[in-house]
Amino acid sequence: MNSETSILQIAKQTIEAESKAIFNLSNLITDDFAEAVKLIYNSKGRVIITGIGKSAIIANKIVATLNSTGTPAIFMHAADAIHGDLGLILEDDVVICISKSGNTPEIKVLIPLIKNAKNKMIAITGNKDSFLGQQVDYVLNTYVEKEACPNNLAPTTSTTAQLVMGDALAVCLLEMRGFSSKDFAKYHPGGALGKKLYLRVQDISSVNEKPQVHPSANIKDVIIEITEKRLGVTAVVENEKIVGIVTDGDIRRMLSNSDNFTSLSAKDIMSANPKRVNAETMAVDALELMEVNEITQVLVEDNGKYVGVVHLHDLIKEGII
């Protein structure tokens, strides 16, 4: 068992066992699934998701997914529910109960209490004929033939099936709500994911230096501008319009190709018509432009006027990459 070959074989067997179980879920989808989705979509309340043990962990993840995709949800631990947390459930809430067996003691105590309050209930269970399966309004069947665990004991395949069923619910609801990338950004303002969805070029360029020289600027002034602004580049600007760009690479090439550059000016070594983006462009689109053209800076303009520079390092710092 300690050999590398044995370890890899067991890993592959586990993945294959779980993938087969997931594939089979599509055969277990019935009209109950569609009715459950419509129930949640039309509900004026929230989704309360409960479970115990590993199912409780899965419930927490499904809650997080629903909340981040426009469906308000709250986790309620099944054991805590019968010791006071039932007060979380409001009149219009829909309750989802997750349990592989559907027959655990906590579930048997909890379900009648919820039914007394007349809340609609959905089960995610591997045993549709269980106590839970028989008591709820809709059953989402997550039956698995066996766990990936060699003893068929540790929740592995079954919890994966629960998770996938929860994702299917969330994605259906997302589609029905017409949940867009803008909505997603509203719920994910922090971290790299949020920044990809809302960060614009002007948010970065506005805090950067704004290197620029006139086309007639001498080489010394060009080098000083690039050095002082520390972006490895300067825009060549005339009447607030971008006419070219000089990079530190252009300076090196000039030094390699010319022994006398005192008579040269910015217009003599600049690259005309450089790549540029509008200030309102998404930062992630600016990154794509840099990658496609193999450049590390891009000039920014607003209404045709030069307003700054975005550097690849800015995007790295913001976590866009």
Tokens for 56, please give them: 């409780």
Q: Which whole-number Å values give the CA distances from 104 to 51, 52, 56, 65, 107, in the listed order?
A: 10, 9, 13, 26, 5
Q: Please tell me the number of Cα atoms within 13 Å of 16 on its side-chain side.
A: 6
- On whether 313 is known to bind a ligand per the annotation, the reply is no
Radius of gyration of the chain (CA): 30
> Three-state SS for 282?
strand
DSSP for 147-215, please give it.
Answer: -SSTTS-SSSHHHHHHHHHHHHHHHHHHHHHT--HHHHHHH--SHHHHHHHH-BHHHHHTTS---EE-T
- CA 46, distance to chain mean position in Å, is 23
> Three-state SS for 143?
coil
Strand partners, 101: none
* Sign, CA torsion 196/200/205/208: negative
DSSP for 80-133, please give it.
Answer: HHTTTGGGG--TT-EEEEEESSS--HHHHHHHHHHHHTT--EEEEES-TTSHHH
Cα angle 18-32-39, degrees, rounded to a multiple of 5: 115
Which residues fall in the annotated binding site? 77
Which residues fall in the annotated binding site for Zn(2+)? 77
